[in-house]
Chains A and B, each alone.
Chain A
Amino acid sequence: MSSISHHDRQTTSLANKIQEVTGVALQNCYQCGKCAAGCPVAGDMEMPSCQVLRLLQYESPDYDRRVLESESIWLCLSCDTCHSRCPQTINTPKVMYFLREEAVRQGLAHPKSKDAQAFHKAFLGSVARHGRLHEIGMLMNYKVRTGHLFQDMTLGSKLYQKGKLELLPHGVEDKAAVKKLFKRTTGNKE
C-alpha cells in the first residue's frame, strides 16, 4: 500500500457515492474489526470487509479502483453477521452490493464475477418471462451463458428422480402485468 495524503481526495469518491445512494456513512467505521472477525468468508478474501471500508475512507482514486477490481466484494454472502454485530451499525452488505454494481458499471468487475452476473441474468430472464422462477430453465440458461454445461449433471438427474425439478414452467396467469412491471422499472433491459 503506497502512502497517500489527504490532498489527493476526490469529490466524487466512492465513499461519497455510497453515502448518497445507500445512506451508509463510511467515516463512522473506527476499524474495530468485528465485521471481519465474524465474516464466514473473510479467510477467502484478499481484503476482508474492514479493509475494504478502510481503503474507501481514504477517498483516493487508486484505492477506490483497487476495491472495485477486487474479488472480495463478490464473495460477500449478505449473511448480515457483520451488520448485526457492528457497534456503528454500518450496513456492510449494502455497501458490497453497491460496489458490485459500480464495478460492473465501470467495467472493472473481477473476472471471477462473470458466473455471478450470468446467474442474475438467467434468473431475471426467467422471472420476466414467466412471473415465477422456472428453476430448470434458469439453470440451462445459466449453463449456456457460462459454458458450465456438465457441472452438476448427475445431481440434476437425481433431483429429477426425486420430483424436485419441474420440466415445464408454471408461471403467473397475468403475464402482462409482470411484463409491464419489468418494462416500467428497467426499460425492459431483461
Chain B
Amino acid sequence: MRIGYYPGCSLTSSAREYDESVRAVCEVLDLTLVEIPDWNCCGASSAHVASEELALSLRARNLALAEAAGLDEILAPCAACFSRLASASVELADNPQKCQAVSEVVGMPYSGGVKVLNMLAVLERFKDEIAAKTDQSFRHKVACYYGCLLVRPTKVAQFDRVEDPQSMDQIMAAAGAKPVRWSSKTECCGTGLSTITRTELVANLSGRIVADAAKREAVAIVTACPMCQTNLDMRRPEINQKLQEEHRIPVLYVTQALGLAMGIDPQRLGLHRNMVPVELPEPEPEVVTTDDDDED
C-alpha cells in the first residue's frame, strides 16, 4: 500500500524523532510513504494573521502538489499540519468556485479531491497487522493523550469521539499495551500562542496532564502531536517546578511506542532525542486486564 506523506516543518527538525519513528513503523506495516514533492509550510496559526487568502493558498499548494503526484490521500503526522491541511481540504471540497480561485493564486490546478489523514486514522487501518507484528510483551500501562487538534473542531477533524476518543487506546491495545482510563485525553496542553510567549501558562496546563497520567500509574504518555509532545516533554523542568513534584514519566510519540512493541531498534525510533529519558519498567504481568482501574 502507498499513501502521500506530508512531514511538515517540525518533523524535519524539533520533532525529528516523530518522522524517524513514523518511517520505521510504516516500513514494518508495508505502507509506502510518498513524500509530496516540494511541499511547503502549512502556515500553522500564523498565516491567517497576515491574510485568510495567504493561509488558504499555502495549504492549497500542498494539496495541488499531492494531486499532481497522483496522491488522493495524504498522511500528516503533525496534528497541527493535519488540522490546517484538513480544514483546507474540507473547505475546498465543498466549494468548486473557491477551488478555482485558489488554483489561480497557487498557479496549479486543484480539483478538490485530496483527503488528509492524521496518524491515528492511518494506524487504525492496520490494527490487525500491528497485533501480528508484535509479540504482545509490551504490557505497559500507557496514558493515550490526544490533545485538541486530532478531534476538534469536529467538522475539520471528522475523527473519533470528541470527548472520549478511543482510536489510540485501541491501537496501543493491539500492540499489547494497557491503556489507562483517564479524563485528560483531550485537555489542552497550552500550545496555542503561548508555547514561547507565555511559558508559565503552559507549565500550568501541561502540568495537570502529566500529574493526571502519573496518578493513573501510567508509565508513559503517548501522543500523536509534536506540540503536545514538546510541551509535556521539553517543558518538564518548568512543569515539575510548578507542581513542586518530580515527574519522570516519558512522553512517547505513538509511533515510538509501537516501534518499541515491534522490537525496532530504539536508535531508529529516535528515542535518544526525547528530553525526559525513556526508561520503561518491567511490563505488567500477563494476567492484568485493561479494565483494571483501581483509581475509580
B1 adjacent to chain A (CB < 8 Å): no
A140 adjacent to chain B (CB < 8 Å): no
B244 adjacent to chain A (CB < 8 Å): no
Binds A, one of B11-19, B118-126, B278-286, B287-295: B11-19
**Which 10 pairs between the two chains have the least Cβ-Cβ distance?**
A77-B192, A79-B188, A80-B152, A133-B9, A185-B54, A115-B197, A123-B46, A185-B53, A120-B46, A79-B148
Contact at A173–B38, with CB atoms within 8 Å? yes
Which residues of chain B from 24 to 69 have a CB within 8 Å of any chain A CB? 38-41, 43-51, 53-54, 57-58, 61
Question: Are A135 and B188 CB-contacts (below 8 A) given A77-B193, A83-B152, A163-B16?
Answer: no
For residue B46, give the distance in angstroms from its CB to the closest CB of chain A.
4
Task: Tally B residues with Cβ within 8 Å of A.
Answer: 50
Contact at A185–B51, with CB atoms within 8 Å? yes
For residue B95, give the distance in angstroms from its CB to the closest CB of chain A.
14
Question: Are A81 and B148 CB-contacts (below 8 A) given A97-B48, A172-B40, A186-B51?
Answer: yes
Contact at B54–A84, with CB atoms within 8 Å? no
CB closest residue in chain B, given A101: B49
Residue among A81, A139, A142, A182 making CB contact with B54, cutoff 8 Å: A182
Selected A-B contacts with CB under 8 Å, 25 pairs: A77-B193, A79-B188, A81-B188, A84-B152, A120-B46, A124-B46, A124-B47, A124-B50, A127-B47, A131-B41, A132-B39, A133-B10, A133-B41, A136-B13, A152-B196, A155-B234, A159-B14, A162-B275, A166-B12, A172-B39, A174-B38, A180-B107, A185-B50, A185-B51, A186-B53
Q: Which residues of B contact A173 (CB under 8 A)?
A: 38
How far, in angstroms, from A181 to B275 measured CA to CA in the complex? Answer: 37
How far, in angstroms, from A142 to B12 measured CA to CA in the complex? Answer: 20
B264 adjacent to chain A (CB < 8 Å): no
Which residues of chain B from 202 to 246 have a CB within 8 Å of any chain A CB? 205, 234
Q: Which residues of A contact B275 (CB under 8 A)?
A: 158, 162
How far, in angstroms, from A127 to B41 measured CA to CA in the complex? Answer: 7
Question: Are A83 and B153 CB-contacts (below 8 A) given A40-B187, A74-B193?
Answer: yes
Q: Which residues of B contact A74 (CB under 8 A)?
A: 193
B250 adjacent to chain A (CB < 8 Å): no
How far, in angstroms, from A131 to B148 measured CA to CA in the complex? Answer: 26
Which residues of chain A from 150 to 190 have a CB within 8 Å of any chain B CB? 152, 155, 158-159, 162-166, 170, 172-174, 177-178, 180-182, 184-186, 189-190
Question: Are A163 and B273 CB-contacts (below 8 A) given A77-B188, A115-B197, A181-B57?
Answer: yes
Question: Are A142 and B9 CB-contacts (below 8 A) given A81-B152, A185-B57?
Answer: no
B3 adjacent to chain A (CB < 8 Å): no
How far, in angstroms, from A83 to B188 measured CA to CA in the complex? Answer: 14
Question: Are A181 and B192 CB-contacts (below 8 A) given A79-B152, A163-B273, A164-B14?
Answer: no
Contact at B57–A135, with CB atoms within 8 Å? no
B272 adjacent to chain A (CB < 8 Å): yes
A56 adjacent to chain B (CB < 8 Å): no
CB closest residue in chain B, given A114: B197
Contact at A172–B51, with CB atoms within 8 Å? no
B191 adjacent to chain A (CB < 8 Å): yes
For residue B15, give the distance in angstroms from its CB to the closest CB of chain A.
8
Contact at A135–B58, with CB atoms within 8 Å? no
B190 adjacent to chain A (CB < 8 Å): yes
Contact at A165–B14, with CB atoms within 8 Å? yes
Question: Are A40 and B9 CB-contacts (below 8 A) given A127-B58, A162-B275, A181-B105?
Answer: no
Q: Which residues of A contact B131 (CB under 8 A)?
A: none
Residue among A81, A100, A142, A172 making CB contact with B38, cutoff 8 Å: A172
Q: Which residues of A contact B153 (CB under 8 A)?
A: 80, 83-84, 91
CB closest residue in chain B, given A40: B188
Q: Which residues of B contact A79 (CB under 8 A)?
A: 148, 152, 188, 192
Contact at A132–B12, with CB atoms within 8 Å? yes
Contact at B197–A123, with CB atoms within 8 Å? no
How far, in angstroms, from A181 to B107 measured CA to CA in the complex? Answer: 8
A32 adjacent to chain B (CB < 8 Å): no
Chain A 71-88 per-residue mask, 1 if CB under 8 angstroms from chain B, else 0: 000111111110110000
B93 adjacent to chain A (CB < 8 Å): no
A41 adjacent to chain B (CB < 8 Å): yes
For residue A187, give the distance in angstroms from its CB to the closest CB of chain B.
9
With contacts A80-B148, A127-B43 known, what are 14 further pairs, Cβ within 8 A?
A78-B192, A81-B152, A81-B186, A83-B152, A120-B50, A127-B41, A131-B40, A131-B41, A132-B41, A136-B13, A142-B196, A170-B12, A178-B61, A190-B50
